Structure 1
């Protein structure tokens, strides 16, 4: 039996490609060789990955050792910080020493270094019969067991060919090879790559690398075109060729700004040259090159992509968020936004939209949203009662489960049940998806992500079962998930016939006996991947001690030498053409060139690399050598910038448009100042997809502050809270956590305590200041978030309905007065300017509606006395600042001076609102839509020179705030 052994031969793909069927031979990695030999000696090979369980078992050993040890071990501080991580590190050291042949089970001698002596004591504790500690066998344990059984000589004679130099294997592999040789098996190295036979660019670099690496001294083999070739040339000419590059196409560097540019270029080359089929080296398995090839109609490489970002795997690390109180809104948002999740997608979508606007749960709005969803399901008739019951159970299982405080401990049973439910769902979901594939007569998918998720959930359950503790804290749960959370390889497309031969490790470029040489190779990602440093795990005295016993593990020098040896393989094995792909950015991040690029620069004179470099981004320029005898024909594409905003555009169907039955004050402002927003949203119904992310900080604080004030004023109105500072402060303290949980749970999360305290203090001061203004000026609360409605033109004008943040009333000197206060979180300067320029449209409309005092159309609107005076004001909550035109409603506030009194300004503004509204509808009747922004301002001023500007509202000069249609009008180009 022939064995081809290599450190990267765990993936049997090699270049040059091995024969399709190897007769009486196998391609194996060291772990594969171990498993192969175990079958002949009746030694079991683990069927599943037990690394996580081994780590937990060794953690228990470390815990037990702390109880029996007379002095603190060296790992104590690290163990207190992270028990599993420390156990993982110490277990790997144990396995490394056993792999090197160190007798760890024996009693440590006097000269044994202290840290290694601790490992001796841990091993003795593990092997003792008076405890229940156990440890699954790892690769080192299996290796030592195999070595002890090799004396039976049950396996067939082996002829082993090793790819790497023998001293670069691990000590355990070297021990195994020595033992096999002693039994009569042969071990020999695969031959080194032959010296280049051509005097081309690739051959020049290869000879320099061979000389530096010590493979040979000066290339003793004949070289075509040299003194030893058939066509003799002078030694000077040969030397000159060795010192420079000619750009003959044998060695090519492809450069580009992004890796996607390189992929498109290579795919076009391969499409246009069907006879050019080089091999490909992809050291990082991603889809960029494969996608470009498929786009050009070429066979897929079938690259298995490995990532932790798989939607199905994201579930595992998000479900634990449901265990703790308060809930982490960001993680819940991620959960409900996943493509694959154990929750109905329609309900999850509703939740995501709700959380984006109101980051809190279980308040009145949340309950109304959930129950409204289930009522709709009952009414649509398309969802059966059983399906509705299943969706309801899913909701209850995740959102109505018992939760533990973040500083508490979760019972292990609850956590295990959660992983069990997740495992069962993953298996059921995979079955249902495969059934649906069959029903729709499409290719049945394997849905490997769900299989991996179920396996990882199962592994988490096994890990919990192995732990002696009965409960876990928050950090322990997160660490447990990290221990079992592993990326899942996924084949997006299978490898197709006729695709390029592909390898995924430099050392997989290895010529087996009897195979053709590797002629052409594309090194796709010729960038830095390896770490540029290695640290020794052992102190110098420990290394001397281990070496004295012949059990020294591989250190940094071995790692560096092995990495350097492996990186040379693709260059030295390639015979005819090597293409190095060197992007400046990958996935948007800057990358460094491969270390061999520095060797390439040093091997030739300055500027020589320009002759072999093709700049893919230099479209239309004939730079660099030809790769396939031709170059993709780049055609410069003229840049056509998007059109700039136009002052007006025409929509013919708008001529038949009619006013809506009911408008909101904010929509009225859009119609008056920025009509394109009103047309797009309310006439054309162009609605943007909601961005499912938590509301911004200012928006969140604005919503919360309104909620606090609304609830507080309702309590004051009902008499449950006194208009006293202490009473206001006490109410906010008592209700803050509840209101934050319902509407702003992000403030309750870990790390948000300073912001939460600051917000509550701001609200205490601001709420009392508002209540003080109300109390000192003799006002009573008529309504908070009160619905106000009326007609723009009394007796038949546009009907408008809105909600005023705060409506106050009083009777002073026999006169009934009302005050409308608009609450704002911030923006003191903005609202001062609105008052100063008479642009407070909403307040003006609310004042008019109160004066109209329309008869109530429902029970929720009681009749009020007709007021003789209506005041308006803004209250900026963050600054506890009341803004108004005068002090008639509130004394000792900040006023905005004007030439006329407030009543006159309100009447004038209302008149201008009506005139502007009529003017806009005249434009709509002609099919004209105005686009108002900074860029169109000059054009609009020219168009409107003849307008009676004094009769209309003063138009804005800047772009609209919060405009969802900036790209449609040309502001985004």
Structure 2
């Protein structure tokens, strides 16, 4: 009778061998089970149902606990994490079933407690009084196949075993016994033997076989070599170049970690790709599954929303997502007036500027409303199951539609249609999430239950970036896949690409000794830690034993930037040979210029690339087009400061409008708190500033307590997130103290609030330049028959900085705001001047974090911390004069085409260049780098 020969191994789920594609079918225990099921009309599940089985078993456990007369052993862990407990207990149930235990038997007191609970749970599974029908798992399918085997429907098999039979799982051993009963044959692959004992490789093979070495020195004959480097990319470049320069050297490859590093380097050298497939949880499409649940909860998790809108593929139009990401980076809050204005402006712009049809606008708006305009639930509330189900259904349909659209785009552009496996995996995972929800009796899920559900269905997405090409190195992906078929010659050369620790550890047994004794008495086999460790040791040695003439071990210090440990076999290698002789077989790739080549091969020729530092900053650049640069219609105090002290910032930012690409991350802590504090004080003064009766501490504290939540939600939602409560409380305390300090100063000094964020317009009186700005706080009062105005600039912190500005008469912004207020050009729609021209103007800084007012005198506020000895009016006039003179001087430079690059490195050169300049008329220039300079790379500071 003709027999079909197959190869069976624990890691042979792909037909890849060291010699290339397997000439006979290869099977793992799971694929052999599936293959045999087809002959016995036993339907194998089309898709993974593990998550659904876990949920079903969770319900069975819950019912068991409810009926139990005493607390079950699993009660505490089940209360902490029901799904994880169900997964563990279900795996034990399946293991016992696979090992041959008839778990349908009636429990008795003689059975150990934990095993008895397994039987009690099975009784609930089999009971007709409930609807908890547990889907069949691998163990159930195995037992069904064993029961059907006597029908003898499958063709006769000759099974070649890779692993020793005793190392196989108990269920597989039972299946093999059943097949032998029918006449199938099971043969063990021949075990490899140590090679030539005179070579380094042969000596190590003999040592691993248990032989005693008569010569324990490594000579470096090339049969056994270790390639070391700091990073795996260095090793990849070295190996790929060696392959290119030595066309006859074509080793087989073992890659225990499936990444593209070596394959990419090989392709770069013009050699055929090995077609390394890869499974990863980092596929962008899969991240959507983890992030969509963030839309269910309040307070909003801004970081997760930012991640969602920043994904490459997401169920939201990329233009709107980018707009939202930029907004959140600057203002980490949602649904306030600015947010609403941003969203409305986006759709308005898309219609007017990009001519979006109404249908597309509606489609994008619907996407936005599905995710953002939905009811949210507090963390301690339950989200209705239907809401969550709708979310996953939307995600499922989007994944399928997105894949269809991407394949259509491939056709339109004449490209080969991609599979887009990540989207298919996302579709199936969303489908499994829906199935899990449908299987749950609960009508609502809490926050942790939702996250656990996502983790349960979340799995890696397979991808193959390049197909396996003709002439590529034969590659395997597990040490146990290194084998030799009968009649085949051993593989001459083997490259073990990632010779690093990548094996699981087994430290304890799942069963207590009495339980193991009971199972043994019942004839039930389970895998013990000793058996698993023995199997692991056997598997690790396979690549070494199957290398015929040469074995190359690649050992990086880091992989993907993370430090890694050497493979455990390195310790065996060091122990087997004399101390110090390991250096004879080691090549340090990072010192390739001085390293010894692999014997018999041409050493890769690497050329050191000298470091060429970028050019240093130059003091001045002559740009002819700068001569024709015109003045802007309006300047602001900020742009004027850039112009006066750092002209390159003015030209790049304000004239050329060069802006850095927004980094889509939440604003820094200092900036965030400054924005929130500024906004809170602005709103506070707007509401109570005109009502002196309300300007008391109790009113201020009450107002902040009643309004801070809305502000946080709209502009600072990160402070509402889990773990941020201490920072939020501290910020509110700081704001109460600061707000009262400012309100008290206003009230006690007789001021009233004229405006917050008040628009002020004026003329610089230098080249006729118009100015426009917004003063943070403008106060007014009448004293001794004179109208006085105070302009207060609100700052979060920076006490030393603003003290120095006052001392050195460099408070340009305050001087300009004061001058604009005095020019008083603001009028209503009828042309009526809004405010009378003040007789006296005062300026000051208010540092919110410290609750302090900084100024030159105490004429405006008795609480002012004074700095500077000159009379304030004189200083302000002098400051304005220097502003105008310096402004004219800078524009004179522009008219000559000269752009000054001022930083610490160029300040000395500029001082020499400006010898003879009348500095009494101008501001003294800065000698340090500009703060918050986005153009450091352009001017050469970043090299």
TM-score range, shorter chain: over 0.9
Describe the shift of the 1:663–1:457 C-alpha distance in structure 2 as closer, same or farther (beyond 3 A).
Answer: same
State the match for 1:230 in structure 2: none
Report the counterpart of residue 714 of structure 2 in structure 1: 742
User: Quick one: structure 1 residues 249 and 650, their matched pair in 2 at CA, closer, same or farther if it must change by over 3 Å?
Assistant: farther
- Corresponding residue for 2:281? 308
Q: Secondary structure at the match of 2:905?
A: helix
Match in the other structure for 1:375: 348
Report the counterpart of residue 101 of structure 2 in structure 1.
Answer: 102
- Residue in structure 1 matched with residue 52 of structure 2 by the alignment: 53
Please name the residue that 1:469 is paired with: 442
Structure 2 match to 1:598: 571
2:807 to 812, 836, 845: 836
CA separation in 1, counterparts of 2:572 and 2:709?
Answer: 63
Q: Aligned match of 2:630 in 658, 671, 686?
A: 658
Partners of 1:855 and 1:55 lie apart in 2 by 71
Which residues of 2 match residues 122-521 of structure 1 at below 5 A? 122-197=121-196, 199-211=198-210, 217=211, 239=214, 242-521=215-494
Range with bigger deviation, 774-783 or 431-440: 431-440
Question: Shift of the alpha carbon at 1:19?
Answer: 4.5
Kept in 1: contact 2:760–2:826 (CA 8 A): no
Name the counterpart of 1:679: 651
Q: Using the alignment, how far apart are the partners of 1:866 and 1:107 within structure 2?
A: 98
Instruction: Work out whether residues 611 and 624 of structure 1, in 8 Å CA contact, stay in contact via their aligned partners in 2.
Output: no
SS at match of 1:934: coil
Does the 8 Å CA contact 1:158/1:186 hold for their aligned counterparts? Answer: yes
Determine the C-alpha separation between the residues in 1 that align with 2:692 and 2:140.
73
Pick aligned residue for 2:917 from 947, 963, 972: 947
Aligned residue runs from structure 1 range 775-794, under 5 A? 775-793=747-765
Q: State the shift of 1:73 in Å.
A: 0.6
What residue number does 1:546 align with? 519
**Cα RMSD over matched residues?**
1.8
Alpha-carbon displacement from aligned partner over 1:652-705 (angstroms, at most 9, x marks no partner):
322222222222211211111111212222334332100000111111111111
| Distance (Å, rounded) in 2 between the aligned partners of 1:123 and 1:968 | 71
Structure 1 residues 670 and 650, CA, compared in 2 at 3 Å: closer, same or farther? same
| Contact persistence 1:647–1:930 (CA under 8 A) | yes
Q: 2:683 aligns with which of 707, 711, 729?
A: 711
Q: Aligned residue for 1:12?
A: 15
Confirm whether residue 847 of structure 1 aligns to residue 818 of structure 2: yes
Residue in structure 2 matched with residue 920 of structure 1 by the alignment: 890
CA distance in 2, matches of 1:286, 1:860: 71
Deviation at 1:180, TM superposition (A): 2.1
Q: Could you tell me which residue of structure 1 aligns to residue 38 of structure 2?
A: 39
Whether the aligned pair in 2 keeps the contact of 1:252 and 1:579 (CA below 8 Å) is yes
| Stretch moving more, 298-307 or 864-873 | 298-307
Asked if 1:879 is matched to 2:850, the reply is yes
Task: Look up the SS of the partner of 2:495 in the other structure.
Answer: strand
| Separation in 2, partners of 1:860, 1:597 | 88
| Residues 909, 627 of structure 1: alpha-carbon distance in 2 compared, 3 angstrom cutoff | farther
1:911 to 881, 884, 901: 881
**In structure 1, what is the equivalent of residue 704 of structure 2?**
732
CA distance in 1, matches of 2:444, 2:124: 25
Could you say which residue in structure 1 is the equivalent of 2:621? 649
Partner residue of 2:866 out of 891, 895, 913: 895
Tell me whether 839-848 or 153-162 shows the greater mean CA deviation.
153-162
Partner SS, residue 740 of structure 1: helix
Separation in structure 2 between the aligned mates of residue 596 and residue 409 of structure 1, nearest angstrom: 52
Cα deviations across residues 209-259 of structure 1 (Å, max 9, x unaligned)? 222xxxxx469xxxxxxxxxxxxxxxxxxx5xx322222222221111111
1:826/1:879 contact within 8 Å kept: yes
Relative to structure 1, the CA distance from residue 73 to residue 656 in structure 2 (aligned partners, 3 Å threshold; closer, same or farther) is: same
Map Cα deviations across residues 246-290 of structure 1 (whole Å, 9 max, x no partner). Answer: 222222211111111111111111222223221111111111112
Which of 763, 772, 776 aligns to 1:801? It is: 772
Paired residues, number: 940
Q: The residue matched to 1:816 in structure 2 has which SS?
A: strand
Does 2:542 correspond to 1:569? yes
| SS across alignment from 1:575 | strand
Partners of 2:692 and 2:251 lie apart in 1 by 82
Q: Within 1, Cα distance between the matches of 2:614 and 2:599?
A: 37
586-595 or 683-692: bigger deviation: 683-692
Distance 1:307 1:824, change over 3 A: same
Deviation at 1:151, TM superposition (A): 2.5
SS at match of 2:579: coil
Partner of 2:608: 636
How many angstroms does 1:857 deviate by? 7.9
Q: Which residue of 2 aligns with 1:227?
A: none
1:720-767 Cα deviation digits (max 9, x unpaired): 982122222221111111111111111111221221122122212211
**Alignment-derived partner of residue 902 in structure 2:** 932
- 1:761 lines up with 2:764 in the alignment: no
Residues 860-896 of structure 1: CA deviation (Å, up to 9, x unaligned): 9952111111111111111111111110000133111
Cα distance in structure 1, aligned partners of 2:692 and 2:319: 41
Query: Retained in 2: the 8 A contact 1:611–1:625?
Result: no
Is it true that 1:77 corresponds to 2:76 in the alignment?
A: yes
Classify 1:27/1:939 alpha carbon distance in 2 versus 1 (closer, same or farther; 3 Å).
Answer: same
CA contact (8 A) 2:385 2:437 kept: yes
Residues 15 and 22 in structure 2, CA contact (< 8 A), matched pair in contact too = no
Partner secondary structure for residue 10 of structure 1: coil
* Aligned 8 A contact 1:721 1:727 in 2: no
Are the aligned partners of 1:363 and 1:743 in contact in 2 as well (CA < 8 Å)? yes
Q: Is the 8 A contact 1:613 1:625 kept in 2?
A: no
Deviation of the 1:79 alpha carbon: 0.8
Instruction: Say whether the 8 Å CA contact 1:534–1:559 is kept in structure 2.
Output: no
Find the residue that maps to 2:590 and give its secondary structure. coil
Distance 1:721 1:931 in 2: 54
In 1, are the aligned partners of 2:690 and 2:753 still within 8 Å (CA)? no
**TM-score of the two chains, using structure 1 as the length reference:** 0.94
The whole-number CA distance in structure 2 between the counterparts of 1:522 and 1:315 is 38
In 2, are the aligned partners of 1:18 and 1:512 still within 8 Å (CA)? no
The unaligned stretches of length 5 or more in structure 1 are 212-216, 220-238
Q: Deviations over 1:123-145 (max 9, x none)?
A: 11221121111111111111122
Q: Take 1:280 and 1:685, find their aligned partners in 2: how far apart are those partners?
A: 54
TM-score by length of 2: 0.97
Q: Distance in 2 between matches of 1:548 and 1:624?
A: 60
Q: 1 CA distance for matches of 2:833 and 2:671?
A: 32
Alignment partners' CA distance in 2, 1:474 and 1:551: 41
Assess if the C-alpha contact under 8 Å between 1:6 and 1:29 holds in 2.
Answer: yes
